[in-house]
Structure 1
Amino acid sequence: MMDLHCHVDLYPDHGEILRDIENSGYYVLSVTTVPSAFRGTVALAENLTNCRTALGLHPQLAHQRHNELPLFDSLCNETRYIGEIGLDGSKGYAEHIEDQLLVFEHILKKCCEFEDKILTIHSLNAVDEVLKLLKKYPSSGVPILHWFLAKKKQVANAIELGCYFSVGPAMINSARAKKVISWLPRNKVLLESDGPFAKTDGRPTLPSDVVLVIRYLSELWERPINQIQDDLKLNLKYLISSKKL
């Protein structure tokens, strides 16, 4: 199984999250919020064979850390995975949308220099703008829309662009998110925790908590849990073997 969006370096207890990754055996993508955190996060999980680190610059930090773009460029060949990146049109961040657009477009352009990037993307209250830029840079990589909240037409547009969608335990506690999940194609669904920001039972969500999503999908799709697990593993296999040329 997998957790394709986890902020490993930001957990208050690194020992707990590292043990959970090791004990679960799940394929975990450790995302970063600024390029300067990348190498330290790589070192944090260096003894885990089932954890990969992504290089990111979070849209909520774009206006403060856009000066790290040269560092992003210098590190971009050290990992296949890019994230967390994207745009955020929420209150408190929409005022910085020009900085966000500059950063996100720069990153997509840079990723076009490679053939195999996988991108985990934040699009809260900025779905149309994110999809517009993904369409503009189709060679930037394979997009995973993290915690995707959108209208049905926007979901259809994302599917047309070849996007995957990562679903976490926090989403299945939201009526709005559950509606979006019901619109997703089964062959494009992946799992995430978004811990430690997302919470499960009042504590930071761990990779092992994605089992809650598996149970939910089993009910939604009316398929046994073992078949859901097989479907999700196949989705991960196709993601990892994919390229956008």
Structure 2
Amino acid sequence: MIDFHCHLDLYPNPVAVADELERRGVGVLSVTTTPAAWAGTTRLAKGRPLIRTALGLHPELAGARYRELHLFDRLLPETRFVGEVGLDGSPRHLSSWDSQIQVFDHVLRSCEQAGGKVLSVHSRLAASQVLGCLDRYPGLDKVVLHWFSGTKAEVRRAAERGCWFSVGPAMLTGARGRSLVSEIPTDRLVVETDGPFAQKNRRPLRPWDVTDAIDGLADLWGSTRQHAAQVVRANESALLSL
């Protein structure tokens, strides 16, 4: 099983978490929030084959860190994975909206030109705008919408575009989240934790807690846990083999 969105470097004890996920045989896409964090975060993957590091520039930091785009472009050839990137329409981040658009558009253009990248995309309160940006870059066919919280119509629009969705335990605990997940095509869904930001019982989720998402999917689909795990593993293989 793969945790498709986790901030491994932001745990208080990232080395211990990295060692434990390897011991448990859990894969993880370790996303970064700025290009400057790349060097330190990639060190966590050294000698740990189940960890893949994604190069990112988080929309919440776009206003302060947009000057790191040159570093993003320089590092992009070093990885197949990009994240966390996207747009955030929360009121407290609207002051940086122009910078967010500039950064996200640059990232998408660079990724399309490079080819073959898998993107983990943030779209909180900005789903329509994110999808509009993605529509300008049809060559990007491996886009994973992380913790998607748009409308059902936006879920369908994203699915028609060919997007994937990473779903965590937090999405599967409330009625609205479960309703949205029920709209996601079952062959376009992978799992995530968004640890250490997402929590369970006031404890940060860890990569191996993706099993909670499997349990939630089995309940939602009215299937066995084994069936839900088989579906997700098949989706992981399909996405990574594209």
Whether TM-score is above 0.5 comes out as yes
Q: Secondary structure at the match of 1:184?
A: coil
The one-character-per-residue Cα deviations of 1:123-142 (angstroms, maximum 9, x if unpaired) are 00000000001111111341
Kindly state the Cα deviation for residue 170 of structure 1 after the two structures are TM-superposed: 1.6
Q: Residue 174 of structure 1 aligns to which amino acid in structure 2?
A: G
Indicate if the aligned counterparts of 1:166 and 1:191 stay in contact, CA closer than 8 A. yes
Alignment correspondent of 1:180: 180
Letter of the 2:179 counterpart: K
Q: Tell me the amino acid that sits aligned with residue 161 of structure 1.
A: R
Alignment match, 2:122: 122
Q: What does residue range 135-154 of structure 1 map to in structure 2 within 5 Å?
A: 135-154=135-154
Alignment-mate amino acid for residue 21 of structure 2 = I
The residue number in structure 2 matching 1:234 is: 234
Corresponding residue for residue 94 of structure 2: 94
| Counterpart in the other structure of 1:25 | 25
Does structure 2 conserve the Cα–Cα contact (< 8 Å) formed by 1:111 and 1:141? no
Q: In percent, how many aligned pairs have the same letter?
A: 43
Which range moved further: 161-170 or 99-108?
161-170
Q: Is the 8 A contact 1:168 1:194 kept in 2?
A: yes
* C-alpha contact 2:81 2:117 (8 A) present in aligned 1: yes
Unaligned stretches of 5+ residues in structure 2:
none
Deviation at 1:144, TM superposition (A): 0.3
Which residue type is aligned with residue 132 of structure 2? K
Match of 1:220 in 2: 220
Rounded Cα–Cα distance in structure 2 between residues aligned with 1:24 and 1:111: 32
> Would the aligned equivalents of 2:118 and 2:142 in 1 still touch at CA under 8 Å?
yes
1:171 Cα offset (Å): 1.5
Q: How many residues align?
A: 242
Deviation at 1:113, TM superposition (A): 1.4
Matched, 1:46 2:58: no
Contact 2:89–2:126 (CA<8 Å) still a contact in 1?
A: yes
Calculate the aligned-residue CA RMSD, in Å: 1.0
Deviation at 1:224, TM superposition (A): 1.5
Structure 1 stretches lacking a partner, 5+ long: none
Q: Structure 2-normalised TM-score?
A: 0.97
Letter in 2 for 1:204: P
Contact 1:20 1:207 in 2 (8 A): no
TM-score in terms of structure 1 length: 0.96
Cα distance in 2 for residues equivalent to 1:185 and 1:224: 18
Match in the other structure for 1:14: 14
